[in-house]
């Protein structure tokens, strides 16, 4: 009996893209349901009634929510091409840094996008400090997972795409090859992976989207 595997996502969600990357790396076939978050489908609300967000992975009728939780579910259910380290300590570290990425790094990057002037200078300093902490975890490795893409690479994968888009919008460099050489090389290696490369959303559409988000947030601040 064939397994049912559905992914509810949006075209631009970096969290949804984590799940796409994991499913592709595992070589799994699945159905994609693209959601319009301004008019959420009854199915999405049924499968994720608590947060009402994407991504949601539905496996044989059972819904799994939250991208990092979904990554672990995928890795535990399909053993090929393991994502998480087998060593308990290394696994715990990977989970810690993935949480750091979602709770600290992403907000610091976002603050750079939606600020200007002195506030933006402070936001850049905080973001670069967080990026330095992330770079330290590479320790001369090609990927955070070693020689192959793993759980932490997928968790940080959004940085390899969205940071360059942010840099284009604000005309500033956050990840400098000289100051953050390991992270810069990792971003290139991750983006160049054949599986990852085919999954990126259209760059021009992302630039337009995040440019609009920046302008909207700056207008809100100015009107207060």
Q: What's the CA gap between 61 and 29, in Å, rounded? A: 16
Whether the CB-CB separation of 55 and 67 falls below 8 Å is answered with: yes
Average pLDDT estimate for 168-176 = 95
Q: So what's the pLDDT on residue 121?
A: 96
For 55-71, what is each residue's pLDDT tens digit? 999 999 999 999 999 99
From 78, 81, 76, 31, select the one nearest 56 (Cα to Cα). Answer: 31
201-210 — which CB contacts under 8 Å span 24+ positions?
A: 201/11, 201/12, 201/17, 203/165, 205/11, 205/12, 206/12, 206/161, 206/162, 206/165, 207/165, 207/168, 207/169, 209/12, 210/113, 210/162, 210/165, 210/166, 210/169
Between CA 93 and CA 83 the distance in angstroms is 13
**What is the rounded CA–CA span in Å between residue 190 and residue 77?**
24
For residue 95, what are the CA distances in angstroms to 63, 90, 118? Answer: 21, 9, 34
CA 50, CA 73: separation in Å to the nearest integer? 19
Tell me if 56 sits within 8 A of 44, measured CB to CB.
yes
Mean pLDDT, range 187-195, rounded to an integer: 97
Cα–chain-centroid distance for residue 24?
Answer: 15
C-alpha span between 71 and 155 (Å, rounded): 9
Report the predicted TM-score, pTM, of the whole model to 2 decimal places: 0.95
The proportion of the chain whose per-residue pLDDT surpasses 70, expressed as a percent, equals: 98
Predicted confidence at residue 162, as pLDDT, reads: 97
Could you give the CA distance from residue 188 to residue 167 in angstroms, rounded to a whole number? 15
DSSP lists the bridge partners of residue 58 as: 6, 63
d(CA 189, CA 208): 26
Q: Give residue 223's pLDDT.
A: 59
Percent of the chain with pLDDT over 90: 95
Tokens of 170: 């604000």
Tens digit of pLDDT for each residue in 100-156? 999 999 999 999 999 999 999 999 999 999 999 999 999 989 999 899 999 999 999
Q: What angle, 0 to 180 degrees and rounded to 10, lies between the N-to-C axes of helices 14-26 and 67-77? A: 10
Tokens 């301004």, located at residue = 38
């Amino acid at each position: 009996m064939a397994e049912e595997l559905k992914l509810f996502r949006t075209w631009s969600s970096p969290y949804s893209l984590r799940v796409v990357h994991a499913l592709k790396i595992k070589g799994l076939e699945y159905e994609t349901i693209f959601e319009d978050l301004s008019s959420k489908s009854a199915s999405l609300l049924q499968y994720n009634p608590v947060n009402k967000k994407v991504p949601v992975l539905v496996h044989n009728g059972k819904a799994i929510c939250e991208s990092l939780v979904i990554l672990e579910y995928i890795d535990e259910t399909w053993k090929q091409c393991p994502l998480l380290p087998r060593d308990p300590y290394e696994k715990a570290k990977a989970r810690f840094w993935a949480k750091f990425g979602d709770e600290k790094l992403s907000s610091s990057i976002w603050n750079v996008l939606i600020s200007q002037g002195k506030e933006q200078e402070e936001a850049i300093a905080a973001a670069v400090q967080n990026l330095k902490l992330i770079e330290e975890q590479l320790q001369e490795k090609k990927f955070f997972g070693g020689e192959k893409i793993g759980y932490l690479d997928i968790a940080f994968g959004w940085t390899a795409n969205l940071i360059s888009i942010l840099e284009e919008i604000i005309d500033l460099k956050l990840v400098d090859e000289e100051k953050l050489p390991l992270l810069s090389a990792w971003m290139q290696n991750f983006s160049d992976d054949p599986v990852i490369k085919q999954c990126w959303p259209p760059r021009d559409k992302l630039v337009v989207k995040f440019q609009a988000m920046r302008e909207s947030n700056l207008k809100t601040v100015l009107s207060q």
